[in-house]
């Protein structure tokens, strides 16, 4: 059984980022599973640090993008909205080029908070970064 509030399309999910930093650095939403959200980000001039490897902040941008979007898709958007409270990450492996893929899965889906785990892997499916994102669930006024 899907955790999402309603059936969403990938196009709907991606459209929410048009004209934002997410769009600028090339993050794409690629899959919406029963209980996970997947997306990709290029490792290129927009996302590397001066040493030529994936910037840790770019990894966190991918993690927070996926976790935040997923959190919002779980709640009734007419009644609730979600905002980030905390994010942390462990950077495991350097990546110099190609694409990284992030998968956000819920650890806790409560009425006032959500906790998401986001694993980022390289093109060879090796772990690059593990992140945990805590979201507040707030009432719309």
Within 10 Å of residue 126's Cβ, how many Cβ atoms?
A: 10
Closest CA to 59 of 51, 49, 69, 50: 49
Q: Is 77 helix (H, G, I), strand (E, B) or coil?
A: coil
Cα angle 112-61-130, degrees, rounded to a multiple of 5: 75
Residue showing tokens 């462990």: 90
- Of 12, 31, 34, 64, the active-site residue reads 64
> Is 64 an active-site residue?
yes
Encoded tokens for 27: 């993050």
DSSP class of 30:
E
Q: Please give the positions annotated as active site.
A: 64
């Amino acid at each position: 059984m899907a955790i999402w509030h309603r059936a969403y399309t990938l196009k709907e999910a991606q459209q929410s980022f048009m004209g934002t930093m997410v769009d600028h650095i090339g993050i794409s939403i690629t899959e919406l599973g029963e209980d996970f959200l997947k997306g990709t980000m290029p490792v290129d001039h927009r996302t590397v640090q001066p040493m030529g490897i994936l910037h840790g902040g770019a990894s966190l941008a991918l993690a927070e993008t996926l976790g935040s979007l997923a959190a919002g898709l779980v709640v009734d958007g007419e009644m609730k909205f979600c905002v980030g409270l905390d994010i942390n990450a462990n950077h495991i492996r350097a990546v110099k080029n190609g694409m990284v893929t992030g998968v956000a899965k819920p650890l806790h889906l409560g009425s006032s908070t959500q906790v998401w785990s986001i694993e980022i892997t390289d093109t060879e499916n090796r772990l690059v970064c593990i992140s945990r994102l805590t979201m507040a669930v707030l009432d719309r006024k």
